[in-house]
């Protein structure tokens, strides 16, 4: 039995007719940049997931860049972030000339470890970018308590956590700014690049809206040095079609995760934790750790099971950040995760039989 790591065609086949009708309407109306499709999506996204307003953007990296600009970070400033994440988490920090300072993650959740935060704070520290990795909410209360004490601006990178709720609050509304990605492989994915920004602070949201379109509220008058971060009409149209299906997809991801958690029994395999007090994961990834992960991957590949390494290198050991001077061995939890992680297939269209095949193959290793 073949189990691909991810097959986007299955999802798109089931919505083909509605999707092509929506995309055709956008095409016929030539609503190519922002416009009604994006506005309708922004409204629907906000209403469906519990935000007062959302801003559609052209990638998940753009809101992280906007967040860094809104925070006012710049040269000489330090911003704390986890090292076990996708690189975009820290691009915004670097784009504005500030310096990422990596703090290790928790053993069981892979999210920023609040217990290690305070030791990394210096007089130059201006903010924290926290990630809800693999869809699991991070420990925001503990992180916010430290942030408030030191006057730090907090960004929530929710790229992998669309639909996740921290205690009773949708992710993105506890910190100052929340950011989303609609890259095609994300839990809610477009037919191209896309992203969004949310904020509980109206002042920041209003400024982000100006910055999105060349720092301009009125055409050809520019109050700020801005960006071109507009979402395109096709993304708004397709994401609007998919949004209604997200809750069902998330429920199916949770079923698959529970099936894995109940069935995986291999010795020395670290299986991700279930729901905790900070809420339930939306299971963007199901990532396990095993000391012989390369051999495990080969064993699974021989049984036609796709896997991925998410992520193989911690950010402080990426070539572009070696100059920051955080040596190998300095962030042991993230380093061990990168050295031993394997992500198993988890997407809504997987059948129980496929999940059971993966479980049996892992257990037989
Ligand atoms: C996908 C992702 C982003 C943003 O990615 P884009 O490709 O720019 O949409 C940011 N952070 C994390 C953790 C991600 O997984």
Domain ranges of the chain: 8-243, 247-363
Residue 85: CB within 6 Å of ligand 1?
yes
Q: Which tokens is 102 given?
A: 């990596």
For residues 122 and 136, give the distance between their C-alpha atoms in angstroms, rounded to a whole number: 28
User: Does residue 181's CB lie within 6 angstroms of at least one atom of ligand 1?
Assistant: yes
The CB of 131 under 6 Å from ligand 1? The reply is yes
Find out if CATH 3.40.640.10 is the number for domain 8-243.
yes
Please check whether the two domains, 8-243 and 247-363, share a CATH topology: no
Which pLDDT does position 22 carry in this prediction?
A: 98
Other C-beta atoms lying within 10 Å of the C-beta of residue 337: 22
Q: What are phi and psi of 247, to 5 degrees?
A: -60, -40
Interacting residues of 131 by C-beta distance below 8 A, sequence separation 6+: 81, 82, 85, 89, 111, 112, 138, 156, 157, 159, 160
Indicate whether residue 110 lines ligand 1 (CB < 6 A). no
Cα separation, 283 vs 78, in Å, equals: 31
- What's this model's pTM, rounded to 2 decimal places? 0.98
Answer yes or no: is the C-beta of 41 below 6 A from any ligand 1 atom: no
Mutate-to-test residue for ligand 1 from 156, 157, 190, 192, highest number of ligand atoms within 8 A of CB: 157
Is the C-beta atom of 61 inside 6 A of ligand 1? yes
Written as tens digits, the pLDDT of the chain (365 aa) is 999 999 999 999 999 999 999 999 999 999 999 999 999 999 999 999 999 999 999 999 999 999 999 999 999 999 999 999 999 999 999 999 999 999 999 999 999 999 999 999 999 999 999 999 999 999 999 999 999 999 999 999 999 999 999 999 999 999 999 999 999 999 999 999 999 999 999 999 999 999 999 999 999 999 999 999 999 999 999 999 999 999 999 999 999 999 999 999 999 999 999 999 999 999 999 999 999 999 999 999 999 999 999 999 999 999 999 999 999 999 999 999 999 999 999 999 999 999 999 999 999 99
CA nearest ligand 1 atom 13, residue: 86
SS (H, E, C) 228-250: ECECEHHHHHHHHHHHCCHHHHH
Write out the two tokens for 161: 């956590």
Distance 187 CA to ligand 1 centre (A): 12
Ligand 1: residue whose CA is nearest its atom 10: 88
Q: Where are the alpha helices (DSSP H) in the chain?
A: 8-14, 16-29, 36-49, 61-71, 88-95, 140-150, 202-212, 233-243, 246-263, 293-302, 332-340, 352-363
Residue whose CA is at the smallest distance from ligand 1 atom 5: 60
Q: Which CATH number fits domain 247-363: 3.90.1640.10, 3.40.350.10, 1.20.910.10, 3.90.1150.10?
A: 3.90.1150.10
What's the CA gap between 172 and 177, in Å, rounded? 6
- Whole-number Å distance between alpha carbons of 265 and 275: 19
Which of the listed residues 158, 172, 181, 189 should we mutate to test ligand 1's pocket, taking the one with most ligand atoms within 8 A of CB?
181
- Whether the ω angle into residue 81 lies within 30 degrees of 0, i.e. cis, is no
- Cα distance between residue 333 and residue 355, in whole Å: 28
Q: Are strands 177-181 and 195-198 parallel, antiparallel or unpaired?
A: antiparallel
- What is the Cα–Cα distance from 135 to 18, expressed in whole angstroms? 27
Please give the structure tokens belonging to residue 153. 């601006």
Atom of ligand 1 nearest to the CA of 195: 9
From the CB of 205, is ligand 1 less than 6 Å away? no
Q: How far apart are CA 7 and CA 193, in angstroms?
A: 18
- Copy the structure tokens of residue 123: 């007089």
Residue 267 CA, ligand 1 centroid: distance in Å? 33
Q: Is the CB of 89 under 6 A from ligand 1?
A: yes
Helix axes 36-49, 16-29, angle to 10 degrees: 140
Burial of 318 (0-12, 13-18, 19+ CB in 10 A): middle
């Amino acid at each position: 039995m073949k189990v691909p790591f991810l097959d986007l065609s299955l999802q798109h086949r089931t919505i083909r007719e509605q999707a092509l009708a929506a995309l055709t309407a956008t095409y016929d109306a030539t609503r190519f940049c922002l416009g009604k499709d994006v506005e309708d999506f922004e409204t629907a996204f906000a209403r469906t997931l519990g935000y007062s307003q959302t801003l559609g953007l052209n990638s998940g990296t753009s809101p992280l860049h906007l967040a860094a600009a809104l925070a006012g970070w710049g040269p000489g400033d330090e911003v704390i972030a986890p090292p076990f994440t996708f690189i975009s988490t820290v691009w915004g920090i670097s784009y504005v000339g500030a310096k990422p300072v990596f703090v290790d993650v928790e053993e069981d959740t892979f999210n920023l470890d609040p217990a290690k935060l305070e030791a990394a704070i210096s007089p130059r520290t201006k903010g924290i970018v926290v990630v809800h990795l693999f869809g699991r909410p991070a420990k925001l209360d503990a992180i916010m308590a430290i942030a408030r004490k030191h006057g730090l601006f907090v960004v929530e990178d929710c790229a992998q956590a669309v639909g996740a709720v921290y205690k009773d609050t949708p992710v993105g509304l506890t910190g100052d700014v929340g950011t989303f990605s609609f890259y095609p492989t994300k839990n809610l994915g477009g037919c191209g690049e896309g992203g969004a920004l949310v904020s509980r602070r109206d002042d920041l949201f209003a400024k982000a809206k100006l910055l999105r379109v060349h720092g301009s509220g009125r055409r050809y008058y520019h109050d700020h040095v801005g960006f071109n971060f507009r979402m395109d009409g096709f993304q708004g149209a397709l994401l609007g079609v998919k949004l209604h299906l997200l809750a069902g997809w998330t429920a199916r991801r949770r079923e698959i995760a529970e099936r894995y958690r109940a069935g995986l029994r291999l010795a020395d395999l670290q299986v991700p934790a279930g729901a905790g007090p900070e809420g339930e994961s939306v299971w963007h990834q199901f990532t396990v750790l095993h000391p012989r992960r390369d051999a495990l991957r080969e064993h699974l590949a021989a049984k036609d099971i796709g896997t991925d390494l998410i992520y193989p290198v911690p950010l402080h050991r990426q070539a572009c950040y070696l100059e920051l001077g955080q040596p190998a061995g300095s962030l042991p939890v993230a380093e061990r995760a990168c050295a031993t992680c394997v992500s198993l297939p988890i997407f809504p269209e997987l059948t129980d039989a496929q999940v059971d095949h993966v479980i049996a193959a892992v257990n037989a290793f």
